[in-house]
Structure 1
Amino acid sequence: MAVPGKKTLATASTSSDEDLQVYCQPCDEEGPRRPAYGYCTDCQEHLCETCFKVHKKHKLSKHHILLDNESMPKTLQLSSTSDHTSMSADFRTPCPKHKREMIKFYCHDHKTLLCSVCVTLEHTVTSCKVNYIPDISAKVINSKEYHDILKVIDNITDQCHKMLEDVKKMTGNSNSSLADVLADIKTFRKEINQRLDELERQVEDAAKAIQQENAKNLKTTETTCDDVTKSLKTMFDSIKHLNTSKQADRLFMELKSAEKMIRYYENTIQHISAYDVEEYNFKPNEIISTLLETSLGTLTKKTNKQTRPPPTSTSVKSRNTSHQGEICVKSSNDESRCYITGMILLTPDLLIITDKTNKAIKMVDTRSQSVTDKLQLDTEPSKVSSVTSTELAVTLTNKKNIQFISASSKKLTKKHTLNVDGECFGISCHEKKLVVTYLRPAKLQILDTNGTILTTIRGENIFTNPTFVTTNSSSIYVSDWNMKSIMRLNWQGEVIGRYKGMDEPKGIILSDDETVFACDQHRNVIEEISGDLSKGKVVLKDLKSPFALCWCAQTKKLYFSCFFTDTRYDNYLQIFRLS
C-alpha cells in the first residue's frame, strides 16, 4: 500500500513502461519525480540534472564519482542487505595512488583499475572509456580471458619449476667442477713444492759438495803442514847439534840434504797454498722470483663447443711467376761473402736484412736496388723482425740476447738489448709479443717486449732444431729442418698442424691470404702451403739453395736469399712476382 506523498521506486523488475524508466532517487523520495540524468557511484544513486549539478558543488559530495547519462547504470540499483554487503566486500582493494579509496572502476583505454578519485582527476568520462566494474564483470565468468590467463599462469609456473631445476643442476655441476679445481690447485701446489724441494736439494747438494771439498783441502793442508813442521823441526835440531858438536863432515852432508828437502817442502807449501777457498752468496733465480709475483693460475670457463682456431686458408691457388731481377747487397767494406739469414719489409720500398758473415744489419732500397745504410755489429746476427714501423728486433745467437734497433729517418741505430736463456735464432713479433726459437736448448718461447716469459714450448716430439718462425693473430708457424717439417701452433702452445712434405725447410713467411711460403734448401724450391698445412705445391724451382725470404702484399713480390757458398748467388737477393 502506497504511503501518501511518496512515490514507489522503479526497479528493474517493474513491468510497466513508466517503471522501466530510471528516475532520480533523491527526488523520488520527496517529489516530484524526475528522469535520471546521471549516477553517483559513491552514493549509489541515480540523479536528475539538478541534483547532478548540486552534487558536484556540495562540499560533502564534490569529490564523488559521477557518471553521465551514457555511462550510468540503466536500471535502478536496489540491493538487498546481503547483496550490498557482498558488493561492499568485493571493493576492499585500496587504490595504489589514493590509499583511502577502493578500486571500483576500469579504464579500457589505459587498461588499468581505478578508484573514484582516479576517475575524477585523471580518467574522466570525457577523455577515457570508464566502466563501473559491476556493470561489466559478469561476462568474465568462464570467458576466454579467464582461460588464457590461467594458461599463461600455468606456463610461467612450469617455466619457473624447470628453470629452478636447471639452475640446481647447473649449480651442482659448477660446484662439482670447482671442487675439482680446488683439488687441481692442491695437486699443482704439491707439484710446485716437490719441484722447489728438488731445486732446493740441488743447491744444498752443491753447497755441501763445496763444504766437503773445503774440509778435504783443510785436512790435507793440516796434515801436510804438520808433517813438514815436524820434519823441519827434526832437521833444525840435527843441524844445530852437529854445528855445536863441530861434526863438520856430517854437518856438511846434513846441510846439503836439507837444501834438497827445503826445495821439496817449498813446492809442497806452494802447492797447498794454491787451494782456492771462496766465500759465497745466494743469488735467487730471477725467473722463479718473477713467477712468485704472479698468480698461481686462473679459472677458465668450460665450454661444450669444440675450440677451433680462426679459419685459415685450406687451398693453394695457381700462380703466374716471373723473375723481376736481383739486388746486390754486398757493401764496399764487406770483408766476406754475404750470408743473408733474415729479412723483413718495413715498406714496399724498404727492406731490412741480416748479413751473418759480415756481422751487419743492412737497409736496402728496393726502388734503387741498393744498400742505403749498414749497421756494423760485434757479433753475428741471425734473424730480424719488425716490432713497430720504426723498430726492429734482431736475434744474436752467440750472445744469447736480442738487439733492438731503430730504423727511423732511414738510419739504423742500436737501442737496448734483451737477455734470453738460450741460443736464440728465429724471431717474429705480433701485437707486442715476441715469438723466439732456440737452437740449444731446442724450444720456442713467447715473451713480452720487456723480456717476461709468457709461454715456453719444448719437447723432442715438437722441436729438435727450430729455425725460422712467422706469426699471425691465430697461429705460429715454425720450420724445423732436422724434423723435415713445418709446425703450426696456436698461441697456447698446442700443435694444431704439421706439414711433412719438405727435405730441409728453412725460411718461412705468411702471404696476405694466409698461405705459407717456405724455402726447401735441399730441393732448391720454394713451396706455397695452405694455412692449415694440409697441402702444398712448388711455386718456384731450380733455385740455388734458397734460405731466407719475405713477401710484399702490395706488389705481389717475393724476395729471397741464397746460401750456395758462391758469390754469384749469395751476394744477391732474388725477386719474383707471383700473381
Structure 2
Amino acid sequence: MCQVHEKEIIKFYCPSHHALGCSDCITLGHRTCKVDYIPEKCVGVADGKEFDDVMQKLGEKLKEASEILKKAKGKGSNINYFNEEIIKAITEFRKEINDWLDLMQKDALNNAEEIRANNNKIIQHVLDKCENMISSIKCLQSSLHASKANHEQGQLYIDMKRAESTLKSDELHEVKETLMHTNMRYSFQRNAELETLFCKKMVFGEIVDHSRHESTKMTKAVDRLIGKENINVKTLSDELDCNITGFAVLNTNKLVLADHFNKKLKLISIENRFVEEKVLDSAPFDIAVMSQDQFAVTMPYIKEILVMTTENNISCARSIKVDKTCYCIDYNQDRLYVDCVSPSSVIVLNTQGDILNNMPLNFLSPRYAPYIAVRKDSKLLYISDCGKNSVVSVSLQGKLTATYKHTDLSRPQGMLLLDDGSLLVCSYYNGTIHKVNGDLKQRKIMYKGEDGDLLQSICHSSRYAEIYVGCIGDHLKVFNTQ
C-alpha cells in the first residue's frame, strides 16, 4: 500500500526520481515524468540480471556493514582499555608528583635538621668553654682568698700569677666571637617556581588523540644526523646474527623490528631498550604501521602479509595471501603498497587485502628486493632499485618520472620520506646515508659510516627526535636530528 495515500496500491515507479507511488502520487508529483507501470515491468524480474545485481550489492553492503560492526565492537572494547590506561597513567603521574614532593620535603627537613644540629654543637661548645672558665675563675678566687687569709705570701704570689695568665687568655674572647658570628635566625623560603607553578590555573595533563598513528616516514626537516648510540637487539635465543630488514615506530613508544635471519619480530622500548620477541614460521622482511596498535609484515617466502596487533602481546590478527613474492611495504591513506619481485611490480591493497591496483615495473632490476616510500598525497612512489644503484620515482600509473644515481650510492635500500618531500636513503655497501630532494636532482651526504656498515632500513620517532637505522648485525644505530 502507498505510504502517502494509504488506501491506494503502489503501481508505478519513477526512474528519474527513484520514487515508488500510486496513481495519485504520479498524477500529483510525476505528471511530466516517464514512469514504469509495475504490473508490466515486473514480469520475469526474478530471473533477470537486475535481480542478481541487487542481491549481489545487498550482499556486499551486508558484508561492509558486518565489517563495520566488527570494527565498532573492537573499538568499543578499546575505549574501555584505553580509558583504563589513561586512569592508570594519571594515577602514576600523581604518585610520581607525590614522590617528588615527598623527596623535596625530606631534603628540606634534613637541611633544617643539619643546620639545627650544627648550631647546637656551636652553642654547646660555647657553654662548655664558659662553664669551664667560670669554674676555673671561681677556683682561683677561692685560692687567692685562702692564701691571703692564711698569710701564705709565696702561695698568694703563685695564685696571682696564675690569675694574670687566665686574664690574658683569649679563650673567652674567641668563644664570644664564635657566638657573635653564629647566625641563629633562619626561616623557610618557598621555592618560587613551585609556588608559581601551583598558583597558576593549569591542567594536570592532556588526553592525546593517537587515532592517527605516529608516522614512521614523515618528519620535520633534517639538516644533520648526530650519532647518539647503538641499541643491542640481540636476544639469548637468537641463533644467527641479526638482520634488521625493516622496522617502524609504534604509538606505544616502541620500535617493532623484522629480524630476517632469526625469523622473528622484536618489540623494543625506546625508553628503556627492553626487547620482546615473537618467533615466526618464516622470515619476515618489512613492516608498515597501519594504526596505533596494528602493523603489516611481509613474509616473502610464503607469499603472505601478516596483520599483527600489539594490544596485549604481539599476535596475528589476520593474514593476506598474495600471489607474488612480496618484500617491502608502505601504508598511506588506508592503502597498502607492496613491492614484489619476479616480476617486479607494486600492488596496492585495501586493509582487507583486496587488490585495487597492480603496476608492472619492468624497468626495475628483477632479482633484488626494492624498498618503497609513498608520498603523503599518494600521487608518487619512491623505489630503491639496488640492482641498478639508483632511486626512482613512479606515478600511480606505473610510469617512471625521475631517477637518481650517484657514484656514492651503492645498492640503495631503506628510505625515509621527510615532510619537505625529500628522502633519506640508506646506501648498503658503502655505509652512507643520502638526502635527496623530491625531484631526485639534488643530494647531500648526511652520514658516512665505518667500513663494514651495512645499512638496510630506516625509521624515525618525532617524539624523541631520533632516527634509527637497521643493519646486518646485532645493533641499531641511533641518530639525533636536533
Q: What TM-score do the two structures reach when normalised by structure 1?
A: 0.43
Partner of 1:555: 464
RMSD (CA atoms): 2.1
CA radius of gyration, larger in: 1
Partner of 2:428: 521
CA contact (8 A) 1:512 1:553 kept: no
Partner of 2:320: 418
SS in 1 for 2:301: coil
Describe how 1:361-440 pairs up with structure 2 within 5 A.
361-371=265-275, 373-409=276-312, 411-440=313-342
Partner of 2:242: 338
Partner of 1:264: none
User: Aligned letter for 2:315?
Assistant: T
CA contact (8 A) 2:336 2:351 kept: yes
User: Aligned letter for 1:391?
Assistant: Q
Measure, in 2, the Cα distance between the counterparts of 1:420 and 1:507: 22
Q: What do residues 349-384 of structure 1 show as CA deviations (whole Å, max 9, x unaligned)?
A: 21110011111111110110221x211101100111
Q: What do residues 202-247 of structure 1 show as CA deviations (whole Å, max 9, x unaligned)?
A: xxxxxxxxxxxxxxxxxxxxxxxxxxxxxxxxxxxxxxxxxxxxxx
CA contact (8 A) 2:423 2:437 kept: yes
Select 1:476's aligned residue among 381, 385, 392.
381
User: Aligned letter for 2:386?
Assistant: W
Select 1:541's aligned residue among 448, 459, 465.
448
Q: What do residues 525-571 of structure 1 show as CA deviations (whole Å, max 9, x unaligned)?
A: 011111221211110102411111112234331100122xxxxxx11
Measure, in 2, the Cα distance between the counterparts of 1:510 and 1:318: 11
Measure, in 2, the Cα distance between the counterparts of 1:539 and 1:519: 10
Q: What do residues 80-125 of structure 1 show as CA deviations (whole Å, max 9, x unaligned)?
A: xxxxxxxxxxxxxxxxxxxxxxxxxxxxxxxxxxxxxxxxxxxxxx
1:513 is displaced (CA, Å) by 2.8
Describe how 1:224-235 pairs up with structure 2 within 5 A.
none
Describe how 1:124-523 pairs up with structure 2 within 5 A.
319-347=223-251, 349-371=253-275, 373-409=276-312, 411-464=313-366, 465-471=368-374, 472-473=376-377, 474-501=379-406, 502-523=409-430
- With over 3 angstroms needed to count, the CA separation of the structure-2 counterparts of 1:542 and 1:396, relative to structure 1, is same
1:348 is displaced (CA, Å) by 7.8
CA contact (8 A) 2:360 2:398 kept: no
SS in 2 for 1:380: coil
- With over 3 angstroms needed to count, the CA separation of the structure-2 counterparts of 1:495 and 1:553, relative to structure 1, is farther
1:387 is displaced (CA, Å) by 1.3
- Number of equivalences: 257
- With over 3 angstroms needed to count, the CA separation of the structure-2 counterparts of 1:336 and 1:480, relative to structure 1, is same
- With over 3 angstroms needed to count, the CA separation of the structure-2 counterparts of 1:318 and 1:397, relative to structure 1, is closer
Measure, in 1, the Cα distance between the counterparts of 2:242 and 2:383: 24
- With over 3 angstroms needed to count, the CA separation of the structure-2 counterparts of 1:427 and 1:459, relative to structure 1, is closer
SS in 1 for 2:278: strand
Q: Which runs of 5 or more residues in structure 1 are unaligned?
A: 1-292, 294-315, 564-569
CA contact (8 A) 1:327 1:370 kept: no
Measure, in 2, the Cα distance between the counterparts of 1:505 and 1:399: 25
1:441 is displaced (CA, Å) by 2.0
CA contact (8 A) 1:469 1:477 kept: yes
Q: What TM-score do the two structures reach when normalised by structure 2?
A: 0.51
Select 2:438's aligned residue among 514, 524, 531.
531
CA contact (8 A) 2:304 2:321 kept: yes
CA contact (8 A) 1:455 1:493 kept: no
User: Aligned letter for 1:369?
Assistant: R
% identical aligned pairs: 24
1:463 is displaced (CA, Å) by 4.8
SS in 1 for 2:388: coil
Measure, in 2, the Cα distance between the counterparts of 1:482 and 1:500: 12
Describe how 1:13-162 pairs up with structure 2 within 5 A.
none
Measure, in 1, the Cα distance between the counterparts of 2:234 and 2:259: 9
CA contact (8 A) 1:330 1:338 kept: yes
CA contact (8 A) 1:338 1:358 kept: yes
CA contact (8 A) 2:467 2:480 kept: yes
1:340 is displaced (CA, Å) by 0.8
